[in-house]
Amino acid sequence: MKNYLKIALGLLLALALSGCSPEELSPLCIVHTNDVHGHISPERVEGWSKKLGGAAVLAGCVSDLRERNSRQGVPMLLLDAGDIFLGTPEGSVSQGKAVVEVMNAVGYDAMDIGNHEFDMGVDVIESLAREARFPILGANVVNSTTGLTPDFLHRYLVKECGDLRVGIVGLITQETPEIVMPGRTERILFRDSEKVLRSCMAELAQEGVDFIIVVSHCGLEADKKLASSVRGIGVIVGGHEHELLKRPVRIGSTGTLILQAGSSGQYLGVLSAQVDPRTGSVRKYSYEVLPLEEGRCKADPAVADIVKKWAAKTGEQFDRKVGTSLSDFPLVVDGESALGDMIADSMRAASGADIAFHNSYGIRNSLLKGAVTVRDVYKIMPFDNTLYTMTLTGKQIRKILEQSLAGEILNISGLRIEYRRSAPEGRRIISIMQDGKNIDDAKSYRVVTNSFLAKGGDNFTTFCEGREVVNSGVIDLNAMSDYMRSHSPLSAEAFRLDRLIPR
């Protein structure tokens, strides 16, 4: 009893020293998701003993939180930081409508637009905005002709949360045109996030807003920079890089809290905050990240029915078995992996090319031990890229590999590279071997890559210099499925991981 009394007195003293009494603080609960990528169905997850519960369990947990907060008189906001649908058959085949129907049923207050919302073109986003019963935010997205926010987006949202007037601003990475399929962002420009945010905050101040939330699809480092540069942001609900922050990042100079809750519908972030409306800052908070495994909360039957409906609509073709895996193939995005090697090998096998390149960020899921279905392969490679073959010189291949070692490591087949990643630009590669011989800068080689890289995606523009370019029409998913059928049972141990050798 004495300990509780000491804690209570300590809190009262802290509040008194800050010039703020408990009665002057306003409670607010922010519940959030990000980078769901269409994962609304129950599924196995690498390292989990239970299955992911999917959207029905998410809905059950949100319902429980709403009931608890309502009982305690605490306003609650439910927000998503973008990339909601592309990544599963349900998400992609429905062009996002399955996920938006789920979000409507769960009762989201708003979402930020993510770069992958543009993967199927602007028309798809416009259609989703018509379906959504919540605003889609994107303050730094403008029409390239008018310079105005497109009709399907909102710059910000103002919500009355008890005695708090909350402004919610949405921002997306300016790199979007470089990291989605070229041409998919036509008629759209992406403005500087900081400048746009400052403008929005000035407008929101005129509207009498007490507290600012930024819903950001810019990535953690960009969020840290923004929070350090712009004073007056209470909370950033982040996404884009699939970071699982079990504790908020607090920026010391401004007091801004940054949140991010993993990806793929696996986690639900819950921030219970006490806000000082005079300063627009969080004075006290508790935070938890809930793993949404089966049994975490009672599954919502109405949302479960929505999920089943869309799973049925995707068709039985995704349930066809393509092989068996004797081991897990973990997802690795910054180096060589068995999964990346297998994908590159499947491209070379399907095309007959000498060399294959695949972008590691294009691998979206791990492959787990057991029966492998088309659905499993689709979750690994959900972009429907086709295989492009072209002729490149050894010098061009060297340039591509130098760029890869400076940033996104490409998956390769048909090459063995020794490198020193810390070396200066142009000197990272020690040797490149193809068929046991040093690659010849003047010689031509037949190369296969996917349509994303072939068109200069992720700034790999050297692929655009290729000669005798042929779009095979073969979808990378089908090439991978065929490879698995012919090499089943699969084992990660069969890949020696000797294609990229650091020195």
% residues pLDDT > 70 (the chain):
95
Q: What is the structure's pLDDT at 323?
A: 98
Average pLDDT, the chain: 95
Q: What is the structure's pLDDT at 9?
A: 40
Per-residue model confidence as pLDDT tens digits over 361-400: 999 999 999 999 999 999 999 999 999 999 999 999 999 9
**Mean pLDDT across the stretch 423-434?**
95
Q: What is the structure's pLDDT at 12?
A: 42
Per-residue model confidence as pLDDT tens digits over 72-119: 999 999 999 999 999 999 999 999 999 999 999 999 999 999 999 999
pLDDT band at 14 (very low <50, low <70, confident <90, very high): very low
Q: Which of 235, 210, 250, 269 is nearest to 34 (CA)?
A: 269
Residue 17 pLDDT exceeds 50: no
Q: What is the SS3 assignment for 371?
A: strand
How many beta carbons lie within 10 A of that of residue 97, not counting itself? 19
The residue written with tokens 């090499």 in the block is 487
**1-5, 11-15, 119-123: which range is least confident on average?**
1-5
Which two tokens mark 178?
A: 């470089």
Distances (CA, A) of 83 to 277, 343, 384: 31, 24, 17
C-alpha–C-alpha distance, residues 252 and 256, integer Å: 8
Q: What is the structure's pLDDT at 15?
A: 45
**147-156, 313-322, 466-475: which range is least confident on average?**
313-322
The residue written with tokens 């973990």 in the block is 330
CB distance 275 to 211 below 8 Å: yes
Residue 1 pLDDT exceeds 70: no
Residues making up the chain, counted from first to last: 503
User: Could you tell me which residues are beta bridge partners of residue 77?
Assistant: 30
Q: What is the structure's pLDDT at 315?
A: 81
Q: State which CATH number among 3.40.50.2020, 3.30.70.890, 2.60.320.10, 3.90.780.10 fits the domain covering 319-502.
A: 3.90.780.10
Residue 5 pLDDT exceeds 50: no
Q: What is the structure's pLDDT at 3?
A: 42
Please give the helix or strand (H or E) that residue 259 lies within, else none.
Answer: strand 257-259
**Mean pLDDT across the stretch 439-467?**
97
Per-residue model confidence as pLDDT tens digits over 164-214: 999 999 999 999 999 998 889 989 999 999 999 999 999 999 999 999 999
The residue written with tokens 């921030």 in the block is 271
Residue 128 pLDDT exceeds 60: yes
**Mean pLDDT across the stretch 429-442?**
97
**Mean pLDDT across the stretch 231-248?**
98
Domain ranges of the chain: 22-311, 319-502
Q: What is the structure's pLDDT at 92?
A: 96
Q: What is the structure's pLDDT at 404?
A: 96
Question: Thinking of the domain 22-311, which architecture would CATH place it in?
Answer: 4-Layer Sandwich (3.60)
Residue 18 pLDDT exceeds 80: no
pLDDT band at 13 (very low <50, low <70, confident <90, very high): very low
Direct distance between the N- and C-terminal alpha carbons of the chain, in angstroms, rounded to an integer: 61
CB distance 422 to 470 below 8 Å: no
Q: Which residues contact 282 (CB under 8 A, 6 or more apart)?
A: 234, 235, 255, 257, 273, 274, 275, 276
The residue written with tokens 């627009």 in the block is 280
Per-residue model confidence as pLDDT tens digits over 20-45: 555 699 999 999 999 999 999 999 99
Q: What is the structure's pLDDT at 23?
A: 62
Q: What is the structure's pLDDT at 22?
A: 58
Per-residue three-class SS string for 150-215: CCCCECEEEEEECCEEEEEEEEECCCHHHHCCCCCCCCEEECCHHHHHHHHHHHHHHCCCCEEEEE
CB distance 157 to 207 below 8 Å: no
Which two tokens mark 285?
A: 């908070």
